[in-house]
């Protein structure tokens, strides 16, 4: 055909059936991965948030097959391992940006954190209503050219597949032409009639396929887009070309082991992959993205529980980390429980280290940064010593103001949050009845019931508030009616005694003593304290006792036998 000023007539408009959707399916991940997720075509970009503890994602991407019955080109295949950061968002593109009509879309991943594309599988070019004018398959490094058909001596140029980052030229015949495939980062080009090409789904990701000039022969999208095809003719002859295939890409930041497989004719690339789902990426079928990953587990580091004495030495609460595969170094945070009086190290010797011990017993220490409020330590670049099972811990102690009972630290390992070994805060000292029973005569002389105090392993026990309370309804008093006694006597092992003056309650039933030195400076040291009490004439006979309260703990005194 010779060029004229007139455009050749396009193929008469016929309805182009939508490409076949891929049915949702589930499948087990491949070893060594523990999780899998399939993404099918939705018409828009989808998001995937990297789970806590995950530092590598395995991606398998199939570009969309070109449409128009059985004449579209098969989509390309791209795969690779991607280094990721827990919590980051990957933008998942499935079969988007193919040139109108029916160009196969690109499938791949874009890092929102880095603002760069990672992997792209090129789409196949759209076919035509003529069985000989087929779309080119998606790449590989380059997409395939569209195949042509001519009758009556009509000549022209076929749609070109993308080559690397350069879009393929659109098919042409005389003054008519399909849209040029976009270079990387650009939309697909328009046809001579102004029909726009495929639009880039995420700014900076790949390129759109060129628009087809009639016949449903849009170019495939990809790293660069394939050119749009053409179908023109008249009673004397006609010319047709399927759209060109898009190219693939596996060289994004953090991608390792990248590999592409071009489609073959109407068949998708990567059909031998064990996760391939029947029909994906074939002519007239949608593409797919499959992600796999492995998560390490984090569990409390016990049993046994870590027991901390108030004011005593450090203990080592921690967590266990386990996986069958290795992971890149991660950030670890160890946070103290709120309002529980725990310290990193002790009051006299702070300790900001994290110890990681691998399955072989080898230990590595990391220095942490203390938060401004002093409640957490952050450790950067921690090697989890995987595969296998490793244990990590920090050194903590309980201050003298720590409440008794169970609590735990909170570890955040690579974004995974887990409680530590249970921490049980125990008393700094024991309080128990202080000797053999005493006998009190009603209306007679006073007696001196008391308690014994023993250091459990605490250092620098602070001065204490001590409360002595008479038994309710027993008719007893501090001292005697004629000679009240509001004193507390503390006797230490060396024989020294110290006397404290107390405050009597309004009802006369209790004495409170402030700033009492328990006189038990060393582990295992003991002291005895007592008060003076007397039995009234109406005190019921029988055993009773005075209740002593120290550090929110209570103990009965020596038994008082009233006669």
Same fold, 297-426 and 429-562: yes
Q: Are 242 and 203 in contact (CB under 8 A)?
A: no
- Identify which of 17-21, 169-173, 293-297 has the greatest average pLDDT: 169-173
pTM of the full structure: 0.73
Is residue 98 predicted with pLDDT exceeding 70? yes
DSSP code per residue over 18-35: PPBPPPP---PPPTT--E
Q: Are 84 and 127 in contact (CB under 8 A)?
A: no
Least-confidence region, from 6-10, 63-67, 230-234, 279-283: 6-10
What is 297-426's CATH number? 2.60.40.3670
Architecture of the CATH domain 429-562: Sandwich (2.60)
DSSP code per residue over 171-206: PEETTEEPPPPPPTTSPPPP-TT----PPPSSTTS-
pLDDT of residue 2: 40
What is the tens place of the pLDDT at every residue in 350-408?
999 999 999 999 999 999 999 999 999 999 999 999 999 999 999 999 999 999 999 99
Confidence bin at 324 (pLDDT 50/70/90): confident
Which sequence spans correspond to the domains of the chain? 297-426, 429-562
Counts for the chain of helices (H) and strands (E), in that order: 0, 44
pLDDT of residue 7: 64
| Parallel/antiparallel/unpaired status of strands 405-407 and 376-382 | unpaired
Confidence bin at 15 (pLDDT 50/70/90): low
pLDDT of residue 4: 39
pLDDT of residue 206: 98
Rounded to the nearest integer, the mean pLDDT of the chain is 94
């Amino acid at each position: 055909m010779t060029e004229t000023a007139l455009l050749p007539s396009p193929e008469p408009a016929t309805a182009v059936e939508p490409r076949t959707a891929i049915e949702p399916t589930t499948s087990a991940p491949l070893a060594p991965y523990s999780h899998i997720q399939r993404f099918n075509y939705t018409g828009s970009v989808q998001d995937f948030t990297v789970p806590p503890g995950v530092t590598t994602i395995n991606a398998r991407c199939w570009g969309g097959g070109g449409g128009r019955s059985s004449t579209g080109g098969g989509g390309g295949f791209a795969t690779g391992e991607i280094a990721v950061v827990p919590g980051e968002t990957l933008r998942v593109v499935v079969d988007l940006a193919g040139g109108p009509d029916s160009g196969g879309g690109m499938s791949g991943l874009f890092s929102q954190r880095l603002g760069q594309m990672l992997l792209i599988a090129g789409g196949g070019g759209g076919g035509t209503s003529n069985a000989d004018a087929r779309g080119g398959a998606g790449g590989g490094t380059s997409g395939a050219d569209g195949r042509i058909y001519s009758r009556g001596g009509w000549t022209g140029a076929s749609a070109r597949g993308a080559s690397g980052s350069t879009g393929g030229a659109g098919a042409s015949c005389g003054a008519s032409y399909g849209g040029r495939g976009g270079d990387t980062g650009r939309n697909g080009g328009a046809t001579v009639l102004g029909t726009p090409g495929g639009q880039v789904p995420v700014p900076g990701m790949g390129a759109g396929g060129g628009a087809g000039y009639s016949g449903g022969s849009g170019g495939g999208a990809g790293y660069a887009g394939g050119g749009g095809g053409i179908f023109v003719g008249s009673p004397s002859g006609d010319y047709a070309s399927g759209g060109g295939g898009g190219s693939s890409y596996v060289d994004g930041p953090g991608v390792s082991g990248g590999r592409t497989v071009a489609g073959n004719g109407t068949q998708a690339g990567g059909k031998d992959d064990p996760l391939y789902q029947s029909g994906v990426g074939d002519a007239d079928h949608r593409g797919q993205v499959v992600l796999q990953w492995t998560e390490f587990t984090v569990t409390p580091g016990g049993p046994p529980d870590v027991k901390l004495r108030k004011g005593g030495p450090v203990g080592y609460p921690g967590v266990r980390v386990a996986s069958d595969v290795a992971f890149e170094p991660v950030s670890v945070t160890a946070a103290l429980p709120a309002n529980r009086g725990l310290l990193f190290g002790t009051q006299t010797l702070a300790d900001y280290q994290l110890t990681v011990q691998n399955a072989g017993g080898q230990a590595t220490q990391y220095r942490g940064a203390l938060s401004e409020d002093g409640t957490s330590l952050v450790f950067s670049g921690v090697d989890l010593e995987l595969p296998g099972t490793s244990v990590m811990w920090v050194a903590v102690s309980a201050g003298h103001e720590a409440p008794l009972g169970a609590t735990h630290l909170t570890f955040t390992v690579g974004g995974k949050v887990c409680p530590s070994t249970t921490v049980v805060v125990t008393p700094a000292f024991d309080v128990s009845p202080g000797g053999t029973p005493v006998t009190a005569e009603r209306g007679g002389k006073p007696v001196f019931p008391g308690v014994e105090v023993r250091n459990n392993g605490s250092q620098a026990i602070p001065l204490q508030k001590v409360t002595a309370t008479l038994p309710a309804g027993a008719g007893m008093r501090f001292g005697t009616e004629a000679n009240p006694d509001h004193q507390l006597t503390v006797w230490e092992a060396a024989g020294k005694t110290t006397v404290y003056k107390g405050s009597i309650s309004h009802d006369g039933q209790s004495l409170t003593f402030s700033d009492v030195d328990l006189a038990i400076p060393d582990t295992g040291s003991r002291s005895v304290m007592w008060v003076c009490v007397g039995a009234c004439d109406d005190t019921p006979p029988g055993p009773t006792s005075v209740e002593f309260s120290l550090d929110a703990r209570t103990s009965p005194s020596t038994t008082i036998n009233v006669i």
